[in-house]
Chain A
Amino acid sequence: MTDLTKISIADALKGLKDKSFTATELTQAHIDEMGAQKHLNAYITQTPEQALEQAKASDERYANGTAKTLDGIPLGVKDLFCTKGTKTTAASKILGEFVPPYESTVTQKLLDDGSVFLGKTNLDEFAMGSANTTSHYGNVINPWTSPNNPDVSYVPGGSSGGSAAAVAAGIAMGTTGTDTGGSIRQPASFCGIVGIKPTYGRCSRYGTVAFASSLDQAGVFARTVEDSALLLQSISGHDPKDSTSMNIDVPNFMAGMDGNLKGLRIGIPKEYRMDGMPEDIQKMWDQGAEWLKSEGAEIVDISLPHTKYALPTYYIIAPAEASSNLSRYDGVRYGLRVDGEDLDDTYAKTRGAGFGDEVKRRIMIGAYVLSAGYYDAYYIKAQKVRRLIRDDFTKAYEKCDVILTPTAPSGAFPIGANEEDPIKMYLNDVFTVPTSLAGLPGISVPAGINADGLPLGLQLVGKAWDEATLFKVADVVEKAAQFSGLNSTSRNVA
């Protein structure tokens, strides 16, 4: 029998419709595999009973002909999305045993389309990190191992590390993620799967624990481009509960996936050719351009002159917004409380005990750059440079339709690497942060294997609201790359 944890969502939907297997069997196969892959620590909370109940309801819908677009598909939810009645932690100690009394819009849409929730996936605390090493609930292990260093555990990337590892390891058919500066695309690249961050405003942020509100955007992970389009289709659309979710029609994301790139211009930004870029990444990037050219696309050189200022801009704006957003964790209304001598002392003790080091660091940077005397020099300055970064993209899109870059400057690294210096960790997001600052959609597609035998992704960046063209081009990359994904022999064994 087919291994139900390895097939695509599209094939699973066919199998469910044909009655080749039931939603209950599909869900049970994933629950069994979650047990076998527990050492990856991809989930913070597993909800197998709820999943089996949802699967049973799904089987009834298949039996009476009322099945919906994602009916019976077992998914994981990044533990940053509020799920009614299921503990939501943001991977932080400060949220304690918080059980949301409401459902986020993104997860509600997936439920409305019939999907099954296996549990809440691990992440960096409050989505702050690039290696999933800042979670209060422990590190996530990348299911890929390197033949060169078989005993070494690699990071899955971050912040949506659990979501990416779960999909790669076959313990979810797809997962939700959030991306503030690369938190979907970089882990997708590290785990050899597809991850898309849509245009800012495409998906509702209602019920998503906030990190940096002008950058945070929900998205999805899956093992194929088609599956990622199916999932994004479900979670997209205007929501009156989020004033920044845009009232713009959601097109059929798969309509253009015909393999023909004739007339399409692909931009290659010269500023992304960085000193010291590993040879295998440069090679993959050149190869990617060749693949697109051979399907009729025209390759054009473009310039994004403010690229080098994107990271410093991001590391002012994101912490500033975070320090403001995270002021709500005061020990009064929900989450952890550590009593102090007076109310101020209770706030400080609660927050001192509840936040981890990276979150404290970012709150401190944010509070500093927003404080009297520094606000203009740092925060307003960064917002001005942000406009220049966005204008770079606007100008570039006069010459091209889609931009092609590597997703990250390296493949996955061993757990523990890049920890000694925060800036070294931040550099992981050098290719993904500019897109986030400009609010543009970006997708990472697995395209090759590096010298360590670990996956590498190519990033495609589109014009605002043009996810459909991204999927069209990503489909060509996927077919050309013939990326085989994770086979059972290369999986980490406990």
Chain B
Amino acid sequence: MSQNMDIKTVERVAMLARLDLTEEQKNMLGDQLGNILGFVEQLSEVDTDNVEPLASVVDSSLPLRKDEVTDGQKKDDILANSPEQNEDFFVVTKIVE
């Protein structure tokens, strides 16, 4: 039942997840992900016609609250853990030439 995930698929998923992987990791993940997908494949045995997906066990609908400011003025707190900052901004690698 289990089948390796091919390297091209591993690379595509790694790109979607923005994960830099070594060649060794790609090979290992190809084997392991194939096994795990083989394992979860048994769900296809279950008849789920006319079954609604269950996204949350909390039955009630999400509560609404008034749209008002209850918090704020925490610029320093928010920036305190950033790897790089300049005045009031997070700094990242140059995006626009």
A387 to B60, CA, bound (A): 16
Q: Given the known A-B contacts A342-B93, A384-B53, are A360 and B19 also in contact in the complex, defined by CB atoms under 8 Å? A: yes
Question: Does B69 sit at the interface, judged by CB under 8 A?
Answer: no
Q: With A98-B81, A240-B65, A337-B84 in contact, is A351–B57 under 8 Å at CB?
A: no
B residues 49-82 near A (Cβ < 8 Å) are 51-58, 60, 62-63, 65, 74, 77-78, 80-82
**B54:A390 contact, CB within 8 angstroms:** yes
Q: Which residues of A contact B43 (CB under 8 A)?
A: 309, 312-313, 316, 381-382, 385
The verdict on A364 contacting chain B, using a C-beta distance below 8 Å, is yes
B7 within 8 A of A: no
Q: Name the residue of chain A whose CB is nearest to the CB of B84.
A: A337
Q: Report Cα–Cα, A200/B58, bound state, in Å.
A: 8
Q: Which residue of B lies closest to A329 (CB)?
A: B18
Residues of A325-372 whose CB lies within 8 A of B: 327, 330-337, 339-349, 351-353, 355, 357, 360-361, 363-368, 371
Residues of B within 8 A of A367 (CB): 13, 16-17
Total residue contacts A-B, CB cutoff 8 A: 170
Query: Which residues in B have their C-beta under 8 angstroms from that of A386?
Result: 53-54
Q: How large is the interface on B (under 10, 10 to 19, 20 to 34, 35 or more residues)?
A: 35 or more
Per the bound structure, the CA–CA distance linking A19 and B78 in Å amounts to 44
Q: Which of A200, A361, A366 contacts B32 (CB 8 A)?
A: A361
Indicate if the CB atoms of B90 and A333 lie closer than 8 Å.
Answer: yes
User: Does A99 belong to the interface (CB within 8 Å)?
Assistant: yes
Asked if residues A355 and B83 are in contact (CB atoms below 8 Å), the reply is no
A339 contacts across to B, CB distance below 8 A: 93
Q: Does A422 contact B (CB under 8 A)?
A: yes
A306 at the binding interface (Cβ < 8 Å): yes
What is the bound-complex CA distance between A481 and B40, given in angstroms? 38
Q: B18-56 toward A: CB 8 Å interface, digit per residue (1/0)?
A: 111100010001001101110111111010100111111
CB distance from B39 to the nearest CB of A (A): 5
A370-390 CB contact bits vs B (8 Å, 1 = yes)? 010000001011111111101
- Docked Cα-Cα span, A335 to B81, in Å, equals 7
Contact between chains at B56 and A421 (CB < 8 Å): no
Which residues of chain B are within 8 angstroms of A387 by Cβ–Cβ distance?
A: 51-54
Cβ A214 vs Cβ B56 within 8 A: yes
Contact string against B for A residues 433-458, beta-carbon threshold 8 Å, 1 for contact and 0 otherwise: 00001110000000000000000000
In the complex, the answer to whether B36 meets A353 with C-beta atoms within 8 Å is no
Closest 10 CB pairs between A and B? A352-B20, A439-B57, A383-B53, A334-B81, A101-B77, A387-B54, A337-B83, A384-B48, A312-B40, A367-B17
7 A-B contacts (beta carbon < 8 Å):
A101-B78, A247-B63, A335-B83, A364-B17, A368-B13, A384-B46, A384-B48
**Beyond known contacts A323-B17, A361-B29: 19 more, CB 8 A cutoff:** A99-B80, A99-B81, A101-B77, A102-B77, A246-B58, A312-B41, A332-B82, A334-B83, A342-B93, A345-B20, A347-B18, A361-B36, A363-B17, A365-B37, A368-B9, A384-B54, A386-B54, A421-B35, A439-B57
